[in-house]
Each structure stands twice: as structure tokens, then as C-alpha cells.
Structure 1
């Protein structure tokens, strides 16, 4: 009977071990994320209502251009495509261009997030700013104010 008891004990231990391993495998940590909307806007040297394109200095922005959010850890990444919100063209060809980008899953728990749009200056935002609708301002300037996402200096 001792042999039979050992077999049962071994089978029970193996079953418990398998259940524990299965529960470990199925409880994979899923990173927290949040949704964000970013408005991208700027005063253009050239604006085209028909094409939805704008030029500010030497930099160009258009619908479907990529906008990237990169967290301070370097591994937190999200991207989206710009969509035209409005192009207000003046008679001289200049204008104000506004685009929006929606992000479904921005990785959470980052202290700061850098936003990149084409050849424009990187701007920094907090998660609260992104959750509440951050505004990325298109400028020719190359200096940033790392506290607010706003650019300092002339544009």
C-alpha cells in the first residue's frame, strides 16, 4: 500500500504544480495604458486648404504624418497619424493649421512624455496633460520649455 500512496501523492503534487505554473503563465502582467488626444497647431508660412498641408519655416506637415509619443523610460512608445481639424488660409497664402491625433494605448507610469512631429522640435508633456488633451505647437524655434510642452523663444 505504501507504493500506491506514494503514486497518489506524486500525482497530486504534480497536479498542484501544473495548476500553479498555469496560473503564473496566464496572469501575465499587462502594462497599464491610457487614451490620449493631441492637438497639433501652428501659424503657417504657406497653407493649403485643398491638400491640408502647411509649411512652417523649412518644415512641412500634412495629413497622415506620424506623431510619436515616447516615454522617459525609452521603451514606452505610441504613434498615430495626423488628421486635419482645420486649415484657415489667409489671402496671402499664410494661415493657421490644426491637426488632431488620437492614441488608444499610451503606456502609463512615465514621468514625462516627449512628442515628435516630423522635423519640428520635440515637446515634453505629462500624462495628465496627454489625458486632458495636450496641444503641440508647431514653431520654427529650437528651444523648449520642458515643464509645459510649450515652446519658448520666438517663432
Structure 2
């Protein structure tokens, strides 16, 4: 019988140790985020109405182009793709091209956010502006 207790005691200690370790979970803070939808617009000198492609300030823009939001710390960033919202022909021969971009998880608590698309000038926005919907006007730097 002494032999049986000698085998049970270590097994019981291991089981207790496993229970203690699984009970010791750390509460990891999940970073706070918010959703944002941006309208991206610009005056185009050329359009491909069927393709949704526009040439704005000699720079091509098209659906599925990647747009990024960079947090003020530089470490936080998210990206999305453009979706065509509208292409409107103007009387002067130019067109207004509008796209939307949806971001599901923009890192919160940043001092400011910089929106950037390709070779266009970046633009800064606050978290309140992004949460309430902003328009990013495409302009050459």
C-alpha cells in the first residue's frame, strides 16, 4: 500500500499544479479601436466610368487601391481598399470621382491620424473626425 501512495502523491501534486497554472490567467488589455468610413474625392481629368478608374492630378486612382491611416505614434496603422461611390461628369469636361473606404479597427487614443493614398498629399484628422466620417480630398503634394 505504501507503494500506491507513493505513486498517487506525485500525480496529485502535478494535477494541482496544472489547475493552479490554468487558473493564473493574465488580464491582457485588448487595444481599443473604432470604426471609420472615409469619403475620398478628387477632380479628375480622365475617367473610366465602367472601371471606376480616375486620373486626378496626373495620378491614377482605382477601386481596390490601398488607403492607410497612420496613428500619431507611428506604431499604429490600418489599411483598407477604395470602393467606387460615384463618378460625376462636370460641365467643364472634368469629373468628380468619389470613393469610400471602410476601416473596422482604427487604433484609438492617438493624438492625430494621417490618411495617405499613394502619391497624394496626406491629410491629418482627429479621432472624432474619423469616427463621424470625413472627406479626404485628393491633391498632389
Same fold (TM over 0.5): yes
SS in 2 for 1:111: coil
**Is residue 21 of structure 2 the alignment partner of residue 18 of structure 1?**
yes
**Is residue 35 of structure 2 the alignment partner of residue 35 of structure 1?**
yes
Deviations 1:48-83 (A, max 9, x none): 211211112221111110010010111111111000
Q: Which residue in the other structure is 1:116 paired with?
A: 116
Structure with larger RCO (C-alpha < 8 A, sep 6+): 2
Q: How does 1:45-64 map to 2 (within 5 A)?
A: 45-64=45-64
Q: How does 1:87-98 map to 2 (within 5 A)?
A: 87-90=87-90, 93-98=93-98
Separation in 2 of the partners of 1:128 and 1:112?
10
- Residue 119 of structure 1 and its aligned partner are, at CA, apart by 1.1
Q: How does 1:70-149 map to 2 (within 5 A)?
A: 70-90=70-90, 93-140=93-140, 142=141
The unaligned stretches of length 5 or more in structure 2 are 1-8
- Residue 30 of structure 1 and its aligned partner are, at CA, apart by 1.2
SS in 2 for 1:45: strand
Distance 1:64 1:99, change over 3 A: same
Separation in 1 of the partners of 2:41 and 2:130?
15
Separation in 1 of the partners of 2:92 and 2:134?
30
RMSD of equivalent CA atoms? 2.4
- Residue 93 of structure 1 and its aligned partner are, at CA, apart by 4.5
Count of residue pairs brought into register by the alignment: 132
TM-score, normalised with respect to structure 1: 0.74
